[in-house]
Structure 1
Amino acid sequence: MELREHGRYDWSPLPERKTYDWPGGKKLAFCIANNIEIFSYRDGLGSDSATLTAPQTHRNYAWRDYGNRVGQWYLFDLLEEYGLPSSHNINSRVLRAYPQIREKILSRGDEIVAHGRSNGERQDVLSEEEERRLIEEATAEIIELTGKQPKGWMGPYFAQSEVTLDLLQEAGYEFMLDWPLDDQPVWMRTRKGHILSVPYSVELNDSPSMVFRQEAAASFERMIIDQFDELLLQSQKRPLVFSLVTHNFILGQPYRLRALRRALDHIMKHRDDLWITTVGGVNDYIRSLPEGSLPGQPGQA
């Protein structure tokens, strides 16, 4: 068979790339990307705590709603205890339905990354015009309720169509998190320019790990620590990004929160070695680097 190619980026082996430093001469960037989502009751899409293909019920709706009612507030407290910023991949309708969450994010100065309208739907099954409308509506709602245009996008369920990158760049987005292809930022081509892919882990992500693969909290804690330790070692050779992905209805459960706390204790022992930032902070810094610092950088031949 003839293999299809995406044409969005060129293959680039890690050892052949140019090196650069993160701010302060640091080699490893640390980002927390927290997902805050809203779902339709007994309708649409949504994960289940026990069965992958379960229908939408009152039980799994309530399990997910626990995250916004309780788990997210535990996570806010934990972030404040450790003095950590966070990026929040947030469905735009969360901002309207749960204004206390919106106000808490804004008062903390955290970053909002657009995450579609809700997690009851996905965009890769839509026509181009329908997908454009979804992006426009989510963006407009975030601007209305926060006063700011989001720079980054994370599609519900990592979903993208053939034209999502084009539509995002045309809608004014600077970066997205849907392609888990690298531990460094990567420039992606669009039909009218470029958009940056910022590392966002599908492995160090509590939803696929603990919901879909049924990893225990202690196992996920070990994964966080091992991923961090190895990336810290590897970053002695080149700049890397360590992203930790959370969902408030998963890691916001108290027994899992305790595992996250132990993992953060380990990470924070190395605080002076890290550039602690947001995914948007990575995007901004990459855009400040000299031309040619990354393969495929806009302006290069």
Structure 2
Amino acid sequence: MKSYPPGMTNTTENALFDYSPITERPAISWPGGARVAVYVGLNIEHFLIDRPSTSIWPGTADLVPDALNHGWRDYGVRVGIWRTIESLDRHGIRPSVLLNSDVADRYPQIVKAGLDRDWAWLAHGRTNSILHTGMERDEERRVLTEIVDTITAATGRRPHGWMGPGLTETFNTPELLAELGLSYVLDWTNDDQPYRLNVPGMISVPYSVELNDLNLFGKGTTGPEFVQIVKDQYEQLSADSAHSGRVMALALHPFVTGQAFRAKYLDQALEYLAGRPDAWVTTSDEIAEHYVRTSAETR
């Protein structure tokens, strides 16, 4: 097993985790005999008006201001999130919220809605207009501390998980997060099960860039196709879990699935997942905690 050296900035060797085929691991058992642990990763983000960011039309992405793309993104926090909340509430689903720390000051009504519903809160950088990269160790420690402290103050709860803006990290990020008391990351989307990192106290929990509304609808997926994709993903993971549990993450962005013409399809997908008798519909926090507490794998 490789050790994870402090300050990997000057190496291209990935010592963060070891290769581990899913067929050669101790079995994972979820509560109640569930086969698949399901969570909704709800991205609640703030975008800067003077920086190129996630765009629906690249032709204007470098303009300042970029009214077309900024307005599209801003729809999520003004309108789309409230449709998404109605659907989550209807099916009794607590999302795992990937929260930019700038959201706490900009959109306190959304944070209050989450507090009223006992959402799980993860740190998701400061803003999704700036990727979490290119920092020296001490600078990154300062930035991460500010992000985590801001979210803690706004929610009354210290986050346990991290996903970087655009799923970005430095080689030092997991170790610095562990220093701050976090216990898992979502950035490494390479598995259907949690696994331990070579950083004491840190694990990876599955997330998805494939089962992700931003990616799917950005490639022309229709609403009915989205619902079928959710069903296909669940059915295969349930079949795979005959001998060991799996994780299914559904990644949502309110400016995408919160659009009016997609709302009923999100609702159908959530209704399907909430109705699976062999699903543990939960949060990424609870998946991480259960895995660490019960996993026979030691490192």
Q: TM-score, normalised by structure 2?
A: 0.91
Match of 1:139 in 2: 148
Match of 2:132 in 1: 123
C-alpha RMSD over aligned residues: 1.8
Match of 1:243 in 2: 249
Taking the aligned partners of 2:231 and 2:271, their CA distance within structure 1 comes to 10
Match of 1:218 in 2: 224
Question: 1:20, CA displacement in angstroms?
Answer: 2.8
1:221-232 aligned within 5 A? 221-232=227-238
Give secondary structure in 2 for the equivalent of 1:210. Answer: helix
Give the letter for the 2:283 counterpart: T
1:33-72 aligned within 5 A? 33-41=41-49, 43-51=50-58, 54-56=61-63, 57-72=66-81
1:229-281 CA distance string (max 9 Å, x none): 111111122100011000011111122222222222333332x2111110001
Match of 2:272 in 1: 266
How many corresponding residue pairs? 287
Match of 1:177 in 2: 186
Give the letter for the 1:204 counterpart: L
Taking the aligned partners of 2:275 and 2:112, their CA distance within structure 1 comes to 31
1:73-107 CA distance string (max 9 Å, x none): 00110011111111100111111211111111001
1:127-166 CA distance string (max 9 Å, x none): 3233222211111111221222111111000111121112
1:14 counterpart = 2:22: yes
1:276 counterpart = 2:281: yes
Taking the aligned partners of 2:246 and 2:270, their CA distance within structure 1 comes to 18
8 Å contact kept, 1:40–1:120: yes
Match of 1:166 in 2: 175
Q: Which ranges of structure 2 fall in alignment gaps of 5 or more residues?
A: 1-10
Give secondary structure in 1 for the equivalent of 2:198. Answer: strand
Taking a change above 3 Å as real, the CA distance of residues 235 and 53 of structure 1, as seen in their structure-2 partners, is farther
| More displaced 10-residue stretch of structure 1: 108-117 or 5-14 | 5-14
Taking a change above 3 Å as real, the CA distance of residues 29 and 119 of structure 1, as seen in their structure-2 partners, is same
1:177-211 CA distance string (max 9 Å, x none): 00001000011112xx2411011111101122223
| More displaced 10-residue stretch of structure 1: 71-80 or 259-268 | 259-268
8 Å contact kept, 1:45–1:119: no
Taking the aligned partners of 1:20 and 1:184, their CA distance within structure 2 comes to 8
Taking the aligned partners of 1:128 and 1:122, their CA distance within structure 2 comes to 16
1:209 counterpart = 2:216: yes
Match of 1:285 in 2: 290
Match of 2:5 in 1: none
| More displaced 10-residue stretch of structure 1: 221-230 or 105-114 | 221-230
Q: Which ranges of structure 1 fall in alignment gaps of 5 or more residues?
A: none
Q: TM-score, normalised by structure 1?
A: 0.90
1:151-162 aligned within 5 A? 151-162=160-171
